[in-house]
């Protein structure tokens, strides 16, 4: 459904400039922005994906991954088609790139109120805006998040972090947490593999922390592309500069989309990156996409006691006194109520 967009400007030739993400597309009348889901109609910018839900599932919150937000709870997870990135390794490319590659926008019609009702009925404690990129369906996500917040449901974004500061200001009062992909610490990587730039992602991460949003960071480790010790050291230091309580998920790559020739990440590379994260002072560093790996567990940052034991997205044991270590009473960072 077409729905007038937020955050755009129009010039005297009816061209619109979209202010949702750092691409800041200038769009001629009758044309669409880079994401393929925002269209200039006679000088007014429209979202073409409002209420067009292409994916809707009840997931464990661990799948986002968010390990420090209501662990063990369900998260009602939605997406529309479209993305402002074109990552060569995208695992959801069939829906994220559908508008650009197939000129198609499809989905089941849902209103924000219906999404919230379905989330409540499913026993979910949060709604995740995920799978594709919530920035490009922002108007729908914002309205849904505002209703959800009124009904006591948390809201989380799983995002590439390429939104503008103005967008973050609008969503912040309703947004509890975000998992942000920090895909590399090299601008060349962002330009070559994603069609984007690094700096806006770093800026968003800082601003989210300033706005009080709980942030976890994910890096997909791709052999020979973003796994040098030097780059990982810089990336880990940046995360530590946001706050040492910021969890870092280091995820294993599997061949997909345009990167079928690249081998899966060896587990040893994930473990080496985790060591680099711990050496940077990060309290919580996790292995991803290696089910059963000890690096999936949460330990007390003070005494080292096992607090949450996981296998994949399943919690096998959880020993907390409220939200603190039952041994030394050190609080576990995150959102637990
Ligand atoms: S959200 Fe889409 S139209 Fe807007 S600036 Fe980003 S890519 Fe361009």
Mutation pick for ligand 1 pocket among 84, 86, 204 (CB with most ligand atoms within 8 Å): 84
Rounded-to-integer distance, Cα 165 and Cα 200, Å: 9
Summarised one tens digit per residue, pLDDT across range 118-143 is 999 999 999 999 999 999 999 999 99
Residue ranges around ligand 1 (CB below 6 Å): 18, 20-21, 23-25, 33-35, 38, 84, 135-136
Q: Which residues of 117-143 are buried (b: 16+ CB within 10 A; e: fewer)?
A: ebbbeeebbbbbbbbbbbbbbbbbbbb
Mutation pick for ligand 1 pocket among 6, 23, 49 (CB with most ligand atoms within 8 Å): 23
From the CA of 33, how far away is ligand 1's center (Å)? Answer: 5
Name the β-bridge partners of 314: 311
| Nearest ligand 1 atom, CA 45 | 3
The DSSP result for 264-329, as a single string, is PPPHHHHHHHHHHHHHTT-S-EEEES-TT-GGGSEE-TTT--EEEEEETTEEEEE--BTTB-TTT-
Summarised one tens digit per residue, pLDDT across range 185-217 is 999 999 999 999 999 999 999 999 999 999 999
> Could you give the percent of the chain with pLDDT greater than 90?
99
pTM above 0.95, yes or no: yes
Q: Is the pLDDT of residue 253 over 90?
A: yes
Contact 160, 84 (CB under 8 A): yes
Give mean pLDDT, residues 288-307. Answer: 95
Ranges of H-type helices in 37-193: 93-96, 98-101, 112-121, 138-150, 165-171, 187-189
Q: Is the pLDDT of residue 337 over 90?
A: no
Contact 275, 286 (CB under 8 A): no
From the CA of 134, how far away is ligand 1's center (Å)? Answer: 12
Q: Is the pLDDT of residue 168 over 90?
A: yes
Summarised one tens digit per residue, pLDDT across range 230-245 is 999 999 999 999 999 9
Instruction: Tell me which residue has its CA closest to atom 5 in ligand 1.
Output: 24
The DSSP result for 9-43, as a single string, is EE-TTS-EEE-SBTT--EE-TT-B-TTSSEEEETT
Name the β-bridge partners of 317: 309
Rounded-to-integer distance, Cα 272 and Cα 213, Å: 29
Token pair of 248 as six digits = 């870092």
Summarised one tens digit per residue, pLDDT across range 24-35 is 999 999 999 999
From the CA of 18, how far away is ligand 1's center (Å)? Answer: 6
Contact 213, 175 (CB under 8 A): yes
């Amino acid at each position: 459904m077409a729905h007038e967009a937020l955050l755009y400007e129009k010039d005297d030739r009816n061209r619109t400039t979209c202010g949702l993400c750092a691409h800041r597309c200038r769009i001629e009348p009758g044309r669409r922005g880079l994401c393929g889901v925002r269209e200039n109609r006679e000088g007014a910018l429209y979202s073409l994906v409002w209420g067009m839900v292409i994916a809707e599932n009840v997931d464990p919150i661990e799948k986002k991954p968010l390990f420090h937000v209501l662990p063990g709870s369900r998260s009602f997870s939605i997406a529309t088609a479209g993305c402002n990135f074109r990552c060569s390794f995208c695992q959801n490319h069939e829906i994220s790139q559908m508008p650009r590659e197939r000129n198609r926008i499809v989905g089941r019609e849902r209103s924000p109120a219906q999404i919230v009702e379905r989330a409540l009925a499913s026993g979910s404690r949060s709604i995740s805006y995920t799978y594709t990129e919530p920035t490009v369906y922002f108007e729908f996500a914002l309205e849904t998040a505002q209703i959800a917040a009124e009904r006591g449901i948390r809201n989380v974004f799983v995002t590439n972090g390429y939104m503008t500061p103005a967008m973050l200001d609008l969503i912040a009062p309703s947004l509890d947490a975000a998992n942000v992909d920090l895909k590399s610490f090299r601008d060349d990587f962002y330009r070559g593999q994603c069609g984007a730039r690094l700096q806006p992602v770093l800026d968003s991460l800082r601003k989210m922390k300033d706005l009080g949003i709980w942030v976890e960071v994910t890096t997909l480790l791709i052999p020979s592309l973003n796994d040098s010790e030097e780059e990982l050291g810089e990336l880990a230091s940046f995360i530590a500069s946001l706050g040492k309580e910021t969890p870092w998920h280091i995820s294993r790559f599997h061949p997909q989309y345009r990167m079928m020739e690249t081998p899966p990440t060896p587990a040893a590379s994930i473990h080496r990156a985790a060591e680099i994260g711990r050496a940077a002072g990060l309290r919580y560093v996790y292995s991803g996409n290696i089910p059963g790996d000890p690096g999936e567990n949460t330990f007390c940052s003070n005494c080292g006691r096992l607090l949450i034991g996981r296998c994949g997205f399943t919690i096998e044991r959880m020993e907390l006194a409220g939200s603190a270590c039952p041994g030394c009473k050190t609080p576990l960072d995150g959102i637990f109520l």
